[in-house]
């Protein structure tokens, strides 16, 4: 999940998506993002092409100076807003406030924020730490025995 806060640009204060990009947003927050372009919008997201899938994402206080599409502005591409949470979250999210959507074409799904996804399984229990190998004391190197000088 990513939180986009106070992003400000001409189009798509949080994300501008174009061409054949393929993006999936999971459990994101778009807060107080803005678009300043006067002929379009997308305070949080502006999409002109590509595919965007949105799961369990919350939008609030986003604005567009054009007055259209404070949250999402679509002039191309496809957008699907899923009213489900991404895996491994199984609980259905809570429907939040309606989205301010503008632009052309349709958006598949309900035009609402969805939030409060809860994990369906507990996080795996970490394995216990392994003990560091202990080093064996080393004895000083031994030199080969030397023969005692013989009297002579």
Please give the residue range of the domain that contains residue 20: 3-115
pTM for this structure? Answer: 0.73
pLDDT in tens, 112-131: 888 888 776 554 445 556 65
List all residues 6 or more positions away from 130 whose beta carbon is below 8 Å from its beta carbon: none
Is 139 domain-assigned? no
Position 147 in a domain:
no
- Tell me, yes or no, whether 132 lies in a domain: no
Q: How many domains does the chain have?
A: 1
Residue 125 covered by a domain: no
Residue pLDDT, tens place only, 4-63: 999 999 999 999 999 999 999 999 999 999 999 988 889 999 999 999 999 999 999 999
Q: Is residue 152 part of a domain?
A: no
Decide if 28 is inside a domain. Answer: yes
Buried b (16+ CB within 10 A) or exposed e, 104-127: eeebeeeebbbbebeeeeeeeeee
Enumerate residues 6+ apart whose C-beta is below 8 A from 96: 58, 59, 60, 112, 113, 114, 115
């Amino acid at each position: 999940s990513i939180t986009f806060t106070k992003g400000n640009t001409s189009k798509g204060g949080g994300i501008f998506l174009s061409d054949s990009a393929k993006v999936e947003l999971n459990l994101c927050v778009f807060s107080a993002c803005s678009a300043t372009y006067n002929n379009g919008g997308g305070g949080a997201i502006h999409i002109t092409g590509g595919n965007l899938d949105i799961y369990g994402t919350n939008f609030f206080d986003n604005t567009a100076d054009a007055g259209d599409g404070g949250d999402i502005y679509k002039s191309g591409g496809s957008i699907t807003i899923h009213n489900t949470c991404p895996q491994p979250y199984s609980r259905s999210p809570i429907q939040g406030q309606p989205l301010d959507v503008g632009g052309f074409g349709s958006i598949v799904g309900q035009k609402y924020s969805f939030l409060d996804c809860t994990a369906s399984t507990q996080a795996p229990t970490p394995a216990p730490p392994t003990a560091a190998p202990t080093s064996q004391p080393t004895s000083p190197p031994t030199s080969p025995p030397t023969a005692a000088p013989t009297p002579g």
